[in-house]
Amino acid sequence: MVRTFFRKLLRYLSSDDDSDDDLYEDVEEQCTRKRRKFIRRDHIQGHERLYRDYFAENPVYPSNLFRRRFRMSRSLFLRILNEVVANESLKKFDGGT
């Protein structure tokens, strides 16, 4: 694909033809990308469900399933979370420096 583009470019540059239309069309054709299909995944409901299942006061799943899914105990996770939140609030208070 790229090789054919460069061949056409070399052919165009070596020819005496003044028409830029053919080259422009080839460049435009080479540059167009196929867009990926957009799949709506409803992230907000997923977040709410994850919170209800593992992080609420009365979680749906017990602590052994929390450990299996996140590979750490719930108490360790909450300790890390509290440290991150504390450091973020300090950074905001200091002006981000």
Residue 73 scores a pLDDT above 60 = yes
pTM of structure: 0.47
Residue 5's nearest CA partner among 28, 21, 33 is 28
pLDDT over 70 for what percent of the chain? 64
Q: What was the pLDDT predicted at 65?
A: 92
Q: What angle do CA 27, 34, 10 make, to 5 degrees?
A: 20
Q: What is the largest CA-CA distance in the chain?
A: 78
pLDDT digit string, tens, across residues 22-67: 656 666 666 666 778 888 888 999 999 999 999 888 999 998 999 9
